[in-house]
Amino acid sequence: MDVPVDSIEASSRTALYPAIQPYATGHLEVSELHSIYWEESGNSDGQPVVFLHGGPGAGTSGGNRRFFDPEFYRIILFDQRGAGKSLPHACLDENTTWDLVKDIEKLRKHLAIDKWLVFGGSWGSTLALAYSESHPEQVAGIVLRGIFMLRKKEIDWFYQYGCSAIFPDAWEAYRDFIPEEERNDFVGAYHRRLNDDNINVQLAASKAWTNWELATSYLLPNEDSLKRGEDDRFSLAFARIENHYFVNKGFFPSDSFLLDNVDRIRHIPAVIVQGRYDVICPMMSAWDLHKAWPEANFKVISNAGHSANEKGTTAELVSACEFFKHSSC
């Protein structure tokens, strides 16, 4: 059922925690080419939780720590290959879903963690499902938001036609960047430009790609979100890595791979949070996951879009992490 903001139980905390700083940071070499930035904050002896960021290519930020009680959780953030502070920046070589799954395991072992709570939204939900289905014995619980399983109909909805009918104004800049004769495949057309030998072509394409997503992330327009697109470094990694994964169909062996393997994790306690008016990762995917995984606690936020930073969604995500404080996690 839809969950309006005012229906959340008063006994459960729903507000973000105050901003904190990490007590440990580092770079972990995960291949001869890639090293990933990681950090720890909160309680060094607490329940480990790993935050899986979106995109792929978006990287982490300090605000991501605030979903978790720092007195209870050992909060682990890391930037996936090519994103954020990880090196080399915006690199597509040796950058696949299965490389990232291996990286998560390498980080878990590097930090001497047995089991952890896995938290991911948007692409982070994709990666959380792929990791958890591959290593269910290492997962104590799962919190997902804005479900994205990288199926063809999901990519087509946002990047080819569908969301364009709801945001025709924002769509025009994304559409018009590509010549009319190439518009039968926007993802492919952007791929050619995001991998052009001319960095200026890459940057222009990355801005158009990134701004389309930022313009549609909230139910109501958010100027702070749009400003992120002005950062060349952010846009380049975000667009290049996202597009690389989408062109390669997430590196999954089949379109419904994550759904087909959900039985591997149905025994794990989980919460799924979905904005009713999420136009980037529309609710059809969360609904499909809910039907395949009825044991998971399914929360639909009646007044939210895609972003984790919308009031109702934030409240449910914090509440979910509070729930796991009192479970067997």
What's the domain count of the chain?
2
| DSSP secondary structure letter of residue 307 | -
Which residues of the chain have a pLDDT value below 70?
1-11, 328-329
- At 96, which CATH number? 3.40.50.1820
Whether residues 42 and 87 share a domain: the answer is yes
Whether residues 89 and 165 share a domain: the answer is no
Q: Which domain holds residue 156?
A: 152-249
User: Distance (Å, rounded) from C-alpha 249 to C-alpha 12?
Assistant: 39
pTM of the predicted model as reported, rounded to 2 decimal places: 0.95
Whether residues 113 and 162 share a domain: the answer is no
**Phi and psi dihedrals of 325, rounded to 5?**
-65, -30
Q: Which of 249, 271, 296 is where one domain is finished?
A: 249
Q: Catalytic residue positions? A: 122, 278, 306
User: Distance (Å, rounded) from C-alpha 75 to C-alpha 22?
Assistant: 9
Whether residues 68 and 140 share a domain: the answer is yes
User: Which residue has 């949070």 as its token pair?
Assistant: 273
Q: Which of 221, 249, 277 is where one domain is finished?
A: 249
The predicted-structure confidence for 268-311, as pLDDT tens digits, reads as follows 999 999 999 999 999 999 999 999 999 999 999 999 999 999 99
The predicted-structure confidence for 5-33, as pLDDT tens digits, reads as follows 333 343 389 999 999 999 999 999 999 99
Whether residues 32 and 138 share a domain: the answer is yes
Whether residues 144 and 228 share a domain: the answer is no
